[in-house]
Amino acid sequence: MRTFIRSIFLVCSAFLIAFPRPTIAGQKDYLSALEADKIRDAESTNERIKLFLTFADDRLKKFQYELQHPSSNKHTEMLNALMNAYVGCVDDAADLIQLGIQKQENIRAGIDLMAGRSKEFLEILQKIATDGPDLEVYKDNLDDAIEGTRDAMNDAEKAKKAVAPPPVRRKN
């Protein structure tokens, strides 16, 4: 009986070693391995916010390109995946702002970047919502993206007021 249990244990262990999990724990499904490494290696919260907004901008540009040049296969899935990835990046940047405020870090640059970029993103999304082709295919995800971008923009404006202004040096 013992040898039977040991052999089953060895077979299961060999199976787990031979077929490891394909994703790294903690990696977002909308980030590539290189992007996740960049986020992980960033030294400050401001840098992480900037990276997430850069990735969101990249996803939005890819979405616009896919609208203008539809692929022959999996067009619908590509549009929805890109829009979900955009929303994930914006949400993560907004979460980092909240975390930075809680930790009382100096994230003014990240907040300003979020406020400016979210306005640009919102204009693009609203333009797509009014005259984008194949709107019924990705309308739900687009509505979520617009709502998430508005929330991030409002959070950034509130954070501007909540974060203390930089110290003023006085001349003697």
Residue with tokens 């040991």: 6
pTM of the model: 0.79
Question: Residues with Cβ < 8 Å from 87, sequence gap 6 or more?
Answer: 141, 144, 145, 148
Q: How far apart are CA 172 and CA 155, in angstroms?
A: 38
pLDDT single digits (tens) 138-167: 999 999 999 999 999 999 999 988 886 667
- Domain 33-162 bears CATH identifier 1.10.10: no
Q: How far apart are CA 101 and CA 98, in angstroms?
A: 5
Using alpha carbons, select from 105, 110, 114 the residue that is nearest to residue 152: 114
Question: Residues with Cβ < 8 Å from 158, sequence gap 6 or more?
Answer: none
Residue 37, pLDDT above cutoff 90: yes
Q: How far apart are CA 97 and CA 103, in angstroms?
A: 10
Q: How far apart are CA 49 and CA 152, in angstroms?
A: 12
pLDDT single digits (tens) 76-123: 999 999 999 999 999 999 999 999 999 988 899 999 999 999 999 999
Using alpha carbons, select from 87, 111, 90 the residue that is nearest to residue 101: 111
Model confidence at 21, pLDDT cuts 50, 70, 90, reads very low
